């Protein structure tokens, strides 16, 4: 069993060396590190070449691409491992994470998406939060981030390469939400397994593509569009499950916690509508 770590990068001289060292320090003999450079104009490629000459597990290509999704697909295409993970240039794995992953995959059916916990760090180096992604059913993920966090960074999940035979490659037209799009497909086509172990670390760095997109509000718009797309694709029975969960979180819980004297009347009213799934909010969401 072999593990392919893929790093897409463009002008990443600030972090590329620490990224390469992070994989080296894993001391995982069955791991290869594929670095897909998008024709960087800084010192990124020089740093990659220096390490590639010394370490045989490092392979790289450097050429123009159509964006991050395209570079991710290039890495998958040349990957020799049957397990895939992505390590963005400014992120890092927990110590010994890769060896633990290989051990976990020994008894898992193909294809499996294995998900662990994630540390999210502020730009100043302090811990923002630790996420645990133990809800991986599509009807949970489609509730949105206001209710359920879905895996925010690929350092916390690993999967069989054969999964792409079922769901296809990453969408090259998606430049920001390609990982979320992948997850929505993956949880519906793979065996999903959560383990309460922290695998990855995501740096929330100012002036990066992702953080700037969140600040501008465009990230939320794209995510809502993607949520609605996949909600509409659900089979009827899963739509019913999702509607119930939306009702519970957006309608029932607020009333349950309401101190109003008319709470009992409100609960009875909502319960009647819940049975018929006729609450307008559902149809706005699905």
Last residue of a domain, one of 209, 230, 251: 230
Which DSSP string do the residues of 172-205 spell out, in sequence order?
TT-SSSHHHHHHHHHHHHSEEEEEEEEEEEEE--
Shared domain check, 272 and 171:
no
- Where does the pLDDT of residue 238 fall: very low under 50, low under 70, confident under 90, or very high at 90 and above? very high
Give the closest residue to 231 by CA, choosing from 218, 244, 243, 216: 243
- Where does the pLDDT of residue 280 fall: very low under 50, low under 70, confident under 90, or very high at 90 and above? very low
Looking at the structure of the chain, the number of domains it has is: 2
135: helix, coil or strand? coil
- What is the model's pLDDT at position 174? 84
CA distances for 100 relative to 28, 78, 114, angstroms: 10, 24, 12
Please check the confidence at residue 276 and state whether its pLDDT lies above 70: no
Count of alpha carbons within 13 Å of 122, Cβ hemisphere only?
Answer: 6
- What is the model's pLDDT at position 278? 46
Shared domain check, 240 and 222:
no
The per-residue pLDDT for range 34-89, each reduced to its tens digit, is 999 999 999 999 999 999 999 999 999 999 999 999 999 999 999 999 999 999 99
Strand partners, 130: 119
Shared domain check, 132 and 98:
yes
- What is the model's pLDDT at position 246? 84
As a whole number of angstroms, the distance between CA 34 and CA 43 comes to: 18
Instruction: Return the exposure string of 207-222: e unless at least 16 CB atoms fall within 10 Å of the residue's CB, then b.
Output: eeebeebeeeeebeeb
The per-residue pLDDT for range 89-120, each reduced to its tens digit, is 999 999 999 999 999 999 999 999 999 999 99
Shared domain check, 252 and 281:
yes
On average, the pLDDT of the chain sits at 88
Domain span at 256: 234-285
- Between 191 and 271, where is the model more confident? 191
Interval 161-178 mean pLDDT: 93
Express as a percent the part of the chain with pLDDT over 90: 71
């Amino acid at each position: 069993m072999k593990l392919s770590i893929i790093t897409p990068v463009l002008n990443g001289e600030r972090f590329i060396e620490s990224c390469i060292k992070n994989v080296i320090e894993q001391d995982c003999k069955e791991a290869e590190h594929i670095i897909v450079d998008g024709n960087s104009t800084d010192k990124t490629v020089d740093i990659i070449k220096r390490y590639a000459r010394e370490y045989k597990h490092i392979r790289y290509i450097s050429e123009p691409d159509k964006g991050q999704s395209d570079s991710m697909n290039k890495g998958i295409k040349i990957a020799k491992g049957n397990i895939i993970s992505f390590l963005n240039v400014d992120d890092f794995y927990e110590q010994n994470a890769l060896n633990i992953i290989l051990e976990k995959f020994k008894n898992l059916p193909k294809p499996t998406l294995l998900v662990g916990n994630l540390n999210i760090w502020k730009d100043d180096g302090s811990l923002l939060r630790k996420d645990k992604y133990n809800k991986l059913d599509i009807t949970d993920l489609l509730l949105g981030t206001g209710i359920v966090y879905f895996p925010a960074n690929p350092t916390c999940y690993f999967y069989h390469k054969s999964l792409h035979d079922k769901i296809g490659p990453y969408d090259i037209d998606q430049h920001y939400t390609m990982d979320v799009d992948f997850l929505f497909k993956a949880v519906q086509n793979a065996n999903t397994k959560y383990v309460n172990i922290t695998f990855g670390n995501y740096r929330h760095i100012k002036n990066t593509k992702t953080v700037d997109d969140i600040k501008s509000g465009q990230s939320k718009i794209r995510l809502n569009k993607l949520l609605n797309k996949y909600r509409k694709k659900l089979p009827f029975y899963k739509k019913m499950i999702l509607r119930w969960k939306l009702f519970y979180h957006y309608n029932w819980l607020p009333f349950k916690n309401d101190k109003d004297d008319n709470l009992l009347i409100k609960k009875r009213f909502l319960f009647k509508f819940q049975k018929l799934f006729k609450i307008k909010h559902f149809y706005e969401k699905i």
